[in-house]
Homo-oligomer: A and B are copies of this chain.
Amino acid sequence: MTENLFSDNLKLTPISDIGEQGLINLLTQNIRFHQQSTLLGAGDDAALIQLPEGEQLVVSTDSVVEGVHFDISYTPLKHLGYKSVVLAISDILAMNATPRQLVVALAISAKYTVEAMEELYRGILAACEQYEVDLVGGDVTASSAGLMINLTALGSAPAAKLVKRSGAQVGDLVCVSGDLGGAFMGLNLLEREKRIFRESPEIQPDFGDNDYLLQRQLRPEARKDLLDIFTNLNLQPTSMIDVSDGLGKDLERLCQASGVGAKLYEDKLPLDPKTLSLALEFSIDPTLCVLSGGEDFELLFTVPQTAFDKVKSHPDISIVGHITDASEGLYLISKTGTAMELKDRMYVQ
């Protein structure tokens, strides 16, 4: 962790001191644009964008709600801002499109200060820098309870590059980027330390050497690099979805959209050693972390069997199964060779 999770702001200014317009002006004053397509950002009734010639527009919206998606007691606001952007642009990446612009609407309850919102925006803008996405508009309003962040991400790509959920074909290889289940174990770790802190406030949180898992939960990255990897491998996936709700649920969605089934192989599931060891320490089935954990923001995609040589030894890609006829359902082949319905492994037994 690069900063103290439990740090406090020194100066505390109520938002009512500067008003909603004052807050918007403050938050948007340091915005820098990266995209040629951005013609006009915040400050008018709407933003103006000139789409790159010949490309199609890709649009997705997401909300992140206090008490539902995050627990402010262990989520630093800067990380929350960063993660929210990752979550938003991950949907654009899942179409194999380049994220280009973002609009953010905040609803803020009275407990939040100007400094807290500046911290949130530092995270939002850090992610915008990292992914070269332009924050082109926003809305700030009061909320009766808690903080709510809505993000609409815009991107674009040539039509021939776009990948939907619905293109998987029988025989395709099921692939996933990176490793899975880490964000879920990071969350378990944070919740354990929160419980201990509540019971014995004198005990400092002990995250051991699990920085990687905390980062997967608190400050994940979106797999924008996959776009380049696909280009360099001259690989066009047949279908794709981002892994936001766990491999099991998201594979189910992809298969449903494509009208196919799939077989996953338990021994092929990509687990980081830290995820594995902490899962065992917590007595959680590591396969359950992968299938149901969520929030890893990796990309799940299918490629034709003819692309096997391109993906088989790529360090960022794991082949985890293959697409079957819809009538064959969704199955996990266990390490011992037993086939079981995926949904029966997606929940705690």
B56 touches A48 (CB 8 A): yes
Flag A193-215 by CB within 8 Å of B: 1 or 0 each: 00000000000000000000000
A45 touches B143 (CB 8 A): no
Count the copies.
2
Find the B residue at minimum CB distance from A138: B61
Closest chain-B Cβ to A41's Cβ sits at a distance in Å of 10
Q: Does A319 have its Cβ within 8 Å of any Cβ on chain B? A: no
- Which interface residue of A61, A136, A146 has the most chain B CB atoms within 10 A? A61
Q: Does A173 have its Cβ within 8 Å of any Cβ on chain B? A: no
Q: Does A46 have its Cβ within 8 Å of any Cβ on chain B? A: yes
- How many chain A residues touch B (CB < 8 A): the figure is 59
Complex CA–CA separation, A152 to B58 (angstroms): 13
Q: Does A242 have its Cβ within 8 Å of any Cβ on chain B? A: yes
Find the B residue at minimum CB distance from A37: B57
Q: Does A279 have its Cβ within 8 Å of any Cβ on chain B? A: no
Q: Kindly list chain B residues whose C-beta atoms are within 8 Å of the C-beta of A159.
A: 50
Closest chain-B Cβ to A161's Cβ sits at a distance in Å of 12
Query: Which of B40, B45, B144, B150 is within 8 Å of A242, CB to CB?
Result: B45
B49 touches A94 (CB 8 A): no
Flag A140-171 by CB within 8 Å of B: 1 or 0 each: 01111110101011110001001011100000
Among residues 46 to 100 in chain A, which have CB atoms less than 8 Å away from a CB atom of chain B? 46-51, 56-63, 65-69, 91-92, 94-95, 97
Q: Kindly list chain B residues whose C-beta atoms are within 8 Å of the C-beta of A164.
A: 40, 44
Q: Kindly list chain B residues whose C-beta atoms are within 8 Å of the C-beta of A257.
A: 43-44
A144 touches B61 (CB 8 A): no
Complex CA–CA separation, A68 to B143 (angstroms): 7
Q: Kindly list chain B residues whose C-beta atoms are within 8 Å of the C-beta of A143.
A: 65, 68, 146, 148
B56 touches A166 (CB 8 A): no
Closest chain-B Cβ to A56's Cβ sits at a distance in Å of 5
Query: Which of B44, B56, B66, B95 is within 8 Å of A95, CB to CB?
Result: B44
Closest chain-B Cβ to A127's Cβ sits at a distance in Å of 17
- Which interface residue of A66, A101, A154 has the most chain B CB atoms within 10 A? A154
Find the B residue at minimum CB distance from A140: B63
A136 with B105, Cβ < 8 A, contacts A65-B141, A145-B144 known: no
B105 touches A62 (CB 8 A): yes
Q: Kindly list chain B residues whose C-beta atoms are within 8 Å of the C-beta of A94.
A: 45-46
Q: Does A124 have its Cβ within 8 Å of any Cβ on chain B? A: no
Closest chain-B Cβ to A304's Cβ sits at a distance in Å of 20
A91 with B154, Cβ < 8 A, contacts A144-B66, A148-B107 known: no
B40 touches A47 (CB 8 A): no
Complex CA–CA separation, A95 to B47 (angstroms): 9
Q: Does A137 have its Cβ within 8 Å of any Cβ on chain B? A: yes
- Give 13 A-B pairs besides A61-B105, A68-B142, A144-B146 with Cβ atoms closer than 8 angstroms: A44-B95, A44-B257, A45-B60, A50-B56, A51-B51, A59-B136, A60-B137, A61-B103, A61-B152, A63-B139, A65-B107, A65-B144, A68-B143
List A residues at the B interface (Cβ < 8 Å). 39-40, 43-51, 56-63, 65-69, 91-92, 94-95, 97, 101, 103-105, 107, 136-139, 141-146, 148, 150, 152-155, 159, 162, 164-166, 240-242, 257
The 6 closest A-B pairs by CB, nearest first: A145-B145, A46-B60, A45-B94, A150-B150, A152-B152, A49-B57
